Amino acid sequence: MIIKSIKLINFRNHSSYNLQCKEDTTLILGENGSGKTSVLEAIYILTQGKSFRATDQEIIKRGTDFYRIELNYYNGDTNIATYDHKNKNFIIHDQKTKRLPKKNKYPVVLFLPSDLNLISHSPSRHRDYFDRVYNEFNEKYHESLLKYNKTLKQRNELLKKEFISKDAIFSWNLLLAKFGTELYNYRNNYTKEINTEYTNYYRSITKNQDEVSIKYKTEVDNFTEEKYLKYLEQNYEKDTYLGYTSFGIHRDDYLFKLNHQPADGSASRGETRSMILALKFIEAKLIEEKNHRKPLILLDDVFSELDETHRNSLIKNFKDHQIILTSV
């Protein structure tokens, strides 16, 4: 769906804000701190069901009783989200729901300035980034991730107790092994899929013959449920001493490589930018292929971080999408 307009009331520092959107590219100009990112955040809430950076309590304008977001689409649909310090509601086709229904979510490629530093970020930031991408087009991945994190939390709470037997923790081991293996297979396969096109996209930007890739790094290669379970059981004493689960896919990482060498610390600023741009282009392509819908492109003040070559590449690769971007 193509967004026609967005209206905000009491959202962040906006008491009232209206934006008319074009079908191709809409530019939001303003000084830093003027609330440009907040507009993208509001759009994200009504397309994804949640903010990409804060809780609702943090979003609502200080001193007010509620916030309201309204998205109007060119096909005539209107989606609304409200929050009143207690309850958050979505109004879709005049039906009120507590959560944005899956069928009413719309795929988004979100590009933040911090993404340009992704290569040097921590393993947890790497996981968060790729989890967000995979969640866009695979509901089963999203479900497995939620179940894994819930199981991990329960197991860790048990490990914090003064004494917990192997038998008491065994059922949680079984669940961790099941969901962990599912996530491992998804991540491993999607990394391979990204790598089949990563170098070609990178070269389309840089016009050279360098090679780029991403290595999905786990503690054990070729995970199976049996192998996963074995490692959890072997780490029982260590985990009870530490008070948390020391083994599993929650410790995975993604390593970026340039010409078969670690890119972190060796890639130049321009090479790093090109690697991230290429990854964003693949992200959009994967979402479109698997969702059969062109994702909405939200770009938050990234043009100021890119030179002319990278800006032109960004425009060229996203020219068939609706783009809403901010800039100073």
The confidence band for 223, taking pLDDT boundaries of 50, 70 and 90, is: confident
Last residue of a domain, one of 73, 106, 139: 106
Instruction: Summarize pLDDT for 260-272 with one digit per residue, the tens.
Output: 999 998 999 899 9
Q: Is 307 within the bounds of a domain?
A: no
Q: Which are the contacts of 74, defined by CB distance < 8 A and separation ≥ 6?
A: 1, 2, 3, 4, 23
Q: Is 306 within the bounds of a domain?
A: no
Q: What is the CATH number of the domain that holds 284?
A: 1.20.1050.90
Q: Is 25 within the bounds of a domain?
A: yes
pLDDT for residue 1 is more than 90: no
Residue-number span of the structural domain to which 74 is assigned = 3-106
| pLDDT score of 59 | 96
Residues 252 and 223 in one domain: yes
Residues 261 and 171 in one domain: yes
The 3-state DSSP class for residue 111 equals strand
Calculate mean pLDDT across residues 120-125.
Answer: 93
Q: Is 177 within the bounds of a domain?
A: yes
| pTM exceeds 0.85, yes or no | yes
Tracing tokens 């991403």 back to the chain, one arrives at 214
Residues 22 and 72 in one domain: yes
Q: What are phi and psi of 37, to 5 degrees?
A: -65, -30
- Residue 250's nearest CA partner among 169, 145, 162, 326 is 145
Residues 271 and 130 in one domain: yes
Tracing tokens 């961790």 back to the chain, one arrives at 176
Instruction: Summarize pLDDT for 268-324 with one digit per residue, the tens.
Output: 989 999 999 999 999 999 999 998 999 999 999 888 888 888 888 888 889 899 999
Residues 207 and 86 in one domain: no
pLDDT averaged over every residue in the chain: 93
Q: Is 98 within the bounds of a domain?
A: yes
Q: Is 188 within the bounds of a domain?
A: yes
pLDDT for residue 221 is more than 90: no
Calculate mean pLDDT across residues 177-203.
Answer: 96
Contact (CB, 8 A) for 38 and 49: no
Number of domains comprising the chain? 2
Take residue 318 and report the two structure tokens written for it.
């996203």
Last residue of a domain, one of 77, 106, 135: 106
Residues 137 and 90 in one domain: no
Q: What is the CATH number of the domain that holds 81?
A: 3.40.50.300
- Residue 305's nearest CA partner among 272, 260, 257, 262 is 272
- Residue 129's nearest CA partner among 190, 175, 181, 220 is 190
| pLDDT score of 173 | 96
Instruction: Summarize pLDDT for 3-53 with one digit per residue, the tens.
Output: 999 999 999 999 999 999 999 999 999 888 889 999 999 999 999 999 999
Residues 34 and 100 in one domain: yes
Take residue 283 and report the two structure tokens written for it.
């992200």
The confidence band for 180, taking pLDDT boundaries of 50, 70 and 90, is: very high
Residues 41 and 157 in one domain: no
Last residue of a domain, one of 83, 106, 129: 106
Residues 266 and 148 in one domain: yes
Q: Counting Cβ atoms within 10 Å, is residue 298 exposed (0-12), middle (13-18) or buried (19+)?
A: buried
Residues 235 and 159 in one domain: yes
**DSSP class of residue 104?**
G
Residues 148 and 28 in one domain: no
Residues 124 and 97 in one domain: no
Q: Is 229 within the bounds of a domain?
A: yes
Q: Where are the alpha helices (DSSP H) in the chain?
A: 36-48, 56-59, 123-137, 139-159, 166-206, 225-234, 236-242, 269-291, 308-317
Take residue 212 and report the two structure tokens written for it.
């780029």
pLDDT for residue 72 is more than 90: yes
- Residue 258's nearest CA partner among 194, 202, 219 is 202
